[in-house]
A = this chain, B = another copy of it.
Amino acid sequence: MRITINTIAEMAGVSKSTVSRVMNNSKPVSAEVKKRVLDAIATTNFKPSAVARSLANQKTKLVGVIIPDFSNPVFSDMINGIEKQAQIDGYNILLCNSRSKEESEITFLDILIEKEVDGLILSGFHTSNTLCKKLAEFSKPIVIVGYEDPSLPFPTVIIDNVQATKDVANYLIGLGHQHLAMIRGPLFDHYAGDLRYEGFQSVVKDHGLHWGSHTYEVGQYKTKDGYKAAMKLIQNYPEMTALFCANDEMAIGAIKALKEAGKKVPHEVSVVGFDDINIAHIYEPSLTTVQQPFVQKGEIAMTQLMRLMNGEETEKKVILPHRIVERDSTKRKS
């Protein structure tokens, strides 16, 4: 026989209402009765059922988190932040790895709705009509983290990707480089592919430097994409002395390609990455890159969500700081 609130009520010789009141401090209970109840709870090691509790008060203390890939350290750091913050208010996270597949996103969304999570954190999402409709129907708080989606009306936590890449361009130009190239992310993706290109290219053009279809390539953020793209750039744009990659993995692939092509990094070509994942400072040469606060991103997203779940207001958009971390893969043009 399972121990329930009734067991405790009987043992303590009170009604279950009283037990509930003791557990939740929801109404005063005389000291003497309270002691009897607490004793009964302690001796039986009773734990109230979160399921029953959720049904009764229509709160699950669960938040759903949908991310595209949690092998990616970028996301696991973020989840770390989310989880850390969630713990404070006793929330648990229901983690869903969509593997960037739209059908998974839909399936997971349905599951999370059925599980009646109290809120949702989205991080990389195919914004189809089906999805938008479902998100709209889901009448509980939602926060988006890591990317912007103008078609979605939810609070967002991001960094300023355009400004960050402008900074990179200015930094490289400041080092005396005149022939800049870029390996950008895919077009129309949600991982800031366009934004990061946008900023970089605009500064290069503003300085009247060389820019055209042969000065950049597109990659899918993987090491091998960086490698391939760099190989092409070496061919098409041999004057290049500085290369900016839209994430660190591609940057490392690019460095590999440059080495193989006999171009020394940083002596002949400076390379800059983006994200500052762990490997960036371990690799040799250690990678100059744009650092963004992933853990904090997760923390703030969760904080925002908790505010919303408490019925409070939040800013529509939080922009977190980024900074360039200078390491051994860049050097003043000699």
Name A's B-contacting residues (CB within 8 A): 45, 47-52, 54-55, 60, 70-71, 73, 76-77, 79-80, 83, 90, 92-97, 110-111, 113-116, 137, 223, 252, 278-279, 282-284
Q: How far is the CA of A51 from the CA of B49 in the complex (A)?
A: 11
A113 touches B282 (CB 8 A): no
27 CB < 8 A contacts A-B: A49-B114, A50-B115, A51-B55, A51-B60, A51-B116, A52-B55, A70-B76, A71-B73, A71-B76, A71-B77, A79-B95, A80-B97, A83-B95, A83-B97, A90-B111, A92-B94, A92-B96, A92-B111, A93-B94, A93-B95, A94-B94, A95-B95, A223-B282, A279-B282, A283-B283, A283-B284, A284-B284
Chain B hits for A45, CB < 8 A: 137
Q: How far is the CA of A55 from the CA of B110 in the complex (A)?
A: 20
Kindly list the 4 A-B residue pairs having the minimum CB-CB distance in the complex, ordered from nearest.
Answer: A50-B114, A50-B115, A51-B54, A95-B95
Please give the distance in Å from A228's CB to the nearest CB on chain B.
15
Chain B hits for A70, CB < 8 A: 76, 79-80
Chain B hits for A77, CB < 8 A: 71
Please give the distance in Å from A260's CB to the nearest CB on chain B.
11
Q: How far is the CA of A113 from the CA of B49 in the complex (A)?
A: 8
A114 touches B47 (CB 8 A): yes
With A92-B94, A279-B279, A283-B283 as known contacts, state yes or no: A113 contacts B51, CB within 8 Å.
Answer: no
Using CB atoms, name the residue of chain B closest to A107.
Answer: B87
Q: How far is the CA of A95 from the CA of B55 in the complex (A)?
A: 22
Q: How far is the CA of A246 from the CA of B114 in the complex (A)?
A: 44
Using CB atoms, name the residue of chain B closest to A281.
Answer: B223
Chain B CB count within 10 A is highest, among A45, A52, A70, A90, for: A70
Chain B hits for A48, CB < 8 A: 114
B116 touches A49 (CB 8 A): yes
Please give the distance in Å from A126's CB to the nearest CB on chain B.
18
Chain B hits for A97, CB < 8 A: 80, 83
Chain B hits for A116, CB < 8 A: 49-51
Using CB atoms, name the residue of chain B closest to A77.
Answer: B71
Please give the distance in Å from A247's CB to the nearest CB on chain B.
14
Please give the distance in Å from A265's CB to the nearest CB on chain B.
12
B115 touches A92 (CB 8 A): yes
